Amino acid sequence: MFTRICAAMLKSGSALRSHREGSVVSTFALSLVPVVGLVGAAVDYSTANNARTSLQVSLDAALIAGAKDGSANWASTALNAFNANLNPKGATNVTPTFQLTSKRAYQGTVTATVPSHFLGVLGVSGINIGAKGTATVPPSTGAYYCVMALNGTAQAALQLTGNASITINAPKCVIQVNSSSSRAVDMNGNTMIKAVENCFVGGVSTVGNSTLSPQPDRTCKPIPDPFANYFMSGGRPTAGSCTYTNYQLSGNQSVTLQPGTYCGGMNFSGHVNVTFAPGVYIIKDGVISESGGTFTGNGVSFFLTGYNTSIQLSGQADWHLVAMSSGPLAGFAIFLDPDGPSGLAGSTSSLSGQSELYFEGIVYLPKQEVTVSGNGSVVAPSPYTSYIGDTLRFVGNGDLVINNDTSMTALPLPTALYVQTGGRGILTQ
């Protein structure tokens, strides 16, 4: 824009030089044209800067309000606050947008146009302006989410049912159930939940010898998916050329698999013995399934993406996996990309074990109905396992124990999992 202004002024000056026969008065008058242009440009830019400052103030207030809300509806709260505080100061086409970052910070941008007055004679009809900001809520208690059912309306969004006993032992974690259903949480049989806080938006139904400690917090709000934008700053695993297509292993075999892209999934049958070498295993357009065997891996993360992808474990095998401690999937044993580039993921996943179901890290399966079950005396002895799904169902015909204590693991805990409720929002940008 400045180039256009200078060009117009130079043209005026050139025209002035080409007519030397004019009087001193006319020459002086013509020489005022570029001066007036510069003064006019300064006035228009000053008006634009004042409007941008006003938009920044409105945006900052909106982000603080959204961060304070912290619920799944935070963006609506932020937008309402923005509109309530808006003083456009002549700006038009004011457009605010809000999004959650990979670290669960609250980010906003606003764009607008300030109509020009003096610059209009030079062909500049308006000046585009913008503002941006970020607010965070430092964890107030050190608590974090270890079980999250993200569905906002489902009945039995979190369900525990068993003929023996199911125990969720989480001394430092919050169990979050977003559903507003009157039976959002369903506990049936010898089931027990023991957490630092049970944040259930809806109601609880208990049958049999079920126990719940502490009692649900009735002021809880639904929480947005903490990892919906996890890769917005980059780092998303890329499914390159297929390392294997429709990988299968059967019989009494032992094998060590290497990281790579497994197109069409993995299928294991028989009493196989599989060791996963450290790294990222990309499962594209397929399912991980088995009908028995033993599966182990240390420093392993599974990234599921593409059409109909899911995990279907039979309950006839033993699993012992420890997530990666560094890299883009640090802390995740399983990460599902629900809207992969080649199609939507499957709607269900099942994680079942025979005598061992050990996943150390986060099991992230959004938009899926997730079943975690054990057929015998199944223990998940991992000191730290977090389950996040659309709905979660824990079923035990033996003894199923879910532990979650981050002080007992070397894995990093993503910032987005920390509870922000009660914290104070601060502007960081």
Nearest to 312 by CA among 320, 300, 322, 304: 304
Burial class (CB in 10 A: 0-12, 13-18, 19+), 207: exposed
Residue 109 has a pLDDT of 96
Q: Quick one: pLDDT at residue 17?
A: 47
Residue 6 predicted with pLDDT over 70: no
Element (H, E) at 189: strand 185-200
What is the pLDDT at residue 277? 98
First-to-last C-alpha distance (Å) of the chain: 27
Nearest 5°: the CA angle 412, 418, 423 is 145
Instruction: Determine the average pLDDT of the residues in 335-348.
Output: 87
Angle at the Cα of 211 (from 209 to 213), degrees rounded to 5? 175
How many Cβ atoms sit within 10 Å of the Cβ of residue 340? 18
Backbone φ and ψ for 78, nearest 5 degrees, come out as -65, -40
Residues 95, 128 contacting (CB under 8 angstroms)? no
Nearest one of 388, 73, 373 to 223, comparing CA atoms: 73
Q: How far is CA 169 from the centre of its chain?
A: 25
CA 221, 225, 229, 230: dihedral to nearest 10 degrees? Answer: 120
d(CA 114, CA 325): 49
**Per-residue pLDDT tens digits for 88-125:** 999 999 999 999 998 889 999 999 999 987 776 667 78
Domain extents for the chain?
2-136, 144-417
Whether 141 shows a pLDDT value over 90: the answer reads no
Q: Among 37-41, 45-49, 382-386, which is the least confidently predicted range? A: 37-41
Residue type at position 108: G
175 strand-pairing partners: 147, 198
Q: How far apart are alpha carbons 305 and 339 in whole angstroms?
A: 8
Residue 400's alpha-carbon distances to 11, 167, 188, in angstroms, are 83, 6, 14
- More confident site: 263 or 173: 263
* Residue listed under structure tokens 């086409």: 93
Looking at per-residue pLDDT, the higher value among 372 and 81 belongs to 81
Instruction: Give pLDDT, residue 351.
Output: 86
* Per-residue model confidence (pLDDT) at position 269: 93
Which residues lie closer than 8 Å to 74 by C-beta, 6 or more apart? 66, 67, 98, 100, 106, 224
What does pLDDT average to over the chain? 84
Span 125-142, average pLDDT? 86
- Condensed to tens digits (0 to 9), the pLDDT of residues 65-75 reads 998 888 889 99
Residue 224 corresponds to which tokens in the numbers above?
Answer: 């947005």
Mean pLDDT computed over 374-402: 74
- Contacts for 300 with CB less than 8 Å, ≥ 6 apart: 276, 277, 278, 279, 281, 321, 322, 323, 324, 333
**Residue predicted with more confidence, 10 or 210:** 210
Stronger pLDDT, 210 or 245, i.e. the higher one: 245
Residue 165's pLDDT band (boundaries 50, 70, 90)? low
Q: Is the dihedral of CA 307, 311, 316, 319 positive or negative?
A: positive
Q: What is the pLDDT of residues 250-304, one digit of tens each?
A: 989 999 999 999 999 999 998 999 999 999 999 999 999 998 899 999 999 999 9
- Model confidence over 298-330: pLDDT tens digits? 999 999 999 999 999 887 888 999 999 999 999
User: Which of 32-36, 224-228, 338-342, 398-402 is the least confident region?
Assistant: 32-36
Share of residues in the chain with pLDDT > 90 (%): 49
Task: Give one word for 295, left, alpha or beta, with left for phi > 0 and alpha for psi -120 to 50.
Answer: beta
Q: Which of 191-205, 384-398, 413-427 has the lowest mean pLDDT?
A: 413-427
Q: What is the mean pLDDT of residues 226-237?
A: 90
Contact 403, 383 (CB under 8 A): yes
- Tell me the pLDDT band of 9, cut-offs 50, 70 and 90: very low
What beta strand segments (E) does 101-184 contain?
Answer: 106-115, 126-136, 144-149, 158-177
Other C-beta atoms lying within 10 Å of the C-beta of residue 76: 13
Distance CA 298, CA 276 (A): 8
d(CA 214, CA 209) in angstroms, rounded, equals: 16
**pLDDT at position 379, please?**
53
15 has a pLDDT exceeding 60: no
- Looking at residue 304, what is its pLDDT? 96
Pairwise CA distance, residues 6 & 12, whole Å: 10
pLDDT at 10: 47
Please say if the pLDDT value at position 41 is more than 90. Answer: no
Beta strand 426-427 with 185-200: parallel, antiparallel or unpaired?
Answer: unpaired
* Per-residue pLDDT at 40: 61
Rounded CA gap, 426 and 97, in Å? 19
